[in-house]
Amino acid sequence: MQPDEAVSLRMATVGWDRFSERVLEGEQLFGAFYYALLRVWSAIGTDPVTIRLLSVFLAVATIPVLYLLARRLFDGRVAAAAVGMLAINPFFIRYAQEARAYTLVLFLITLASYLLLRALERVGLGRWLAYGLAAAAAVFAHLFAVFVLLVHLGAMVQRRPPKHAFLVMAALAASVVPFAILVGLFGPPRSFIPPITLRWFGGTLDAVAGGIMPWPPVHGLAYGLLAGVAVYRWRPISPVVFCVAWMVVPIALAAAISLAKPIFLSRYLIVILPAWVMLAAVGVMSNRGRSPLAIASAIVLLVLAAQALAWWYFGQPWS
């Protein structure tokens, strides 16, 4: 197991008194929700395969939720392309097999985004409560989910929802803001994250797109090209804007904060992956996918994904 996975296993198997002590002292506050869930899961078994299966199931559960989200935002063709791109994305596959919280937050932020769209389309307190619970759970799974919730807030304000929606958002803020402050003040230092530079920035985004080599960021450029096609071709533009904001806001805020305290890390930015694969899918399927540029980019993505996965499975280091 990887060192981080060994931490997950220890947190899943130590006594409740030691578990509470490590969380309350801030040593493992950042992943406490995942560790608590893993403790329940560990009743099945504590061998490496069983411990990692929780992440596998969460990753698999993300795929149908992404399909529903993409179909609601765009159409069935884009939804099918989006889940296909997610399923072959090496970054997604890697963390689907690691006993850490990343597929948990990926599943929850995708679910929260889908529930938000449902709530915005039809008035109903139950829909907003479901969204609030999923959104709060996403933040407790990983703090970077807060960046996506800011995008949700912008979309909500734009649509002028009913008053009870603002009550749910106020309750959501009251539950997650103290947690965010505690993590910021008492969470362990992230000394392993280097200061942000242009090279680190490009390599980090390339990793989220599935890249295995630090430079040049070929995967990220291919995904970015498809996103540009989506912006240029897809109409109405509003769902594309939602996905662009979902990508840009977490990247920009994480980069800005990293100027003072480095937090810009590819696995933390897994929260942008649903938006990125949806934009790439829109780029491929725009004009029924007949754009030569989009088709060529899709083929390049398939080849790059196959190469990255081959390197990884044959024991090459993942940068």
* Pure H helices in the chain: 3-13, 16-24, 32-41, 48-73, 76-88, 90-95, 102-121, 125-141, 145-159, 163-186, 198-208, 218-233, 238-258, 273-285, 292-313
pLDDT tens for the 319 residues of the chain, in order? 677 888 888 888 888 888 887 776 665 667 788 999 999 998 898 888 899 999 999 999 999 999 999 999 999 999 999 999 999 898 999 899 999 999 999 999 999 999 999 998 877 788 999 999 999 999 999 989 999 999 999 988 887 777 778 888 888 888 888 877 777 666 666 777 888 888 889 888 888 988 876 567 788 888 888 888 888 888 889 999 999 999 999 999 999 999 888 889 999 999 999 999 999 999 888 766 566 766 777 787 788 888 788 777 776 554 4
The span from the CA of 280 to the CA of 229, in Å, is 8
Is 181 within a domain?
yes
| Residue 77 domain-assigned (yes or no) | yes
Neighbouring residues of 192: CB distance < 8 A, sequence distance ≥ 6: none
Q: What is the domain extent for residue 143?
A: 3-313
- Residue 234 located in a structural domain: yes
Whether residue 319 lies inside any domain: the answer is: no
Our count of domains for the chain comes to 1
Report if residue 309 sits inside a domain. yes
238 domain residue, yes or no: yes
| Planar angle of CA 57, 269, 280, nearest 5 degrees | 80
Residue 239: inside a domain, yes or no?
Answer: yes
318 found inside a domain: no
Q: Cβ distance 112 to 131 under 8 Å?
A: yes
Interior angle at CA 243, CA 238 and CA 246, nearest 5: 125
